Amino acid sequence: AHLPIYAANFARAVEEINKTAGQNYEVRTLKDALETLVQNGKLKKQSSPLGDIYLEPVP
């Protein structure tokens, strides 16, 4: 429910996810997790002038 996640907003996204999911991600570990989801086809990564954007894949 936190998508899209913008690379520019990783710090805020990490705070929100940790608060709602009871996880303890850091920016680096969140980025690694997102990249894994992209590789598994669960997320789509789109480049933008402000950095990567992680989106739900369109079925």
pLDDT greater than 90 at residue 59: no
Check which CATH number belongs to the domain holding 41 and give it: 1.10.10
- Alpha-carbon distance of 4 to 45, in angstroms, equals 10
Cα–Cα distance, 2 to 12 (Å, whole number):
11
Under the banding of pLDDT at 50, 70 and 90, the label for residue 1 is low
Give the pLDDT of residue 23.
Answer: 87
pLDDT digits 0-9 by tens, 10-35: 899 999 989 998 889 999 999 999 99
Check pLDDT > 90 for residue 36. Answer: yes
Average pLDDT taken over every residue of the chain: 91
How many domains is the chain built from? 1
Domain containing residue 18: 5-55
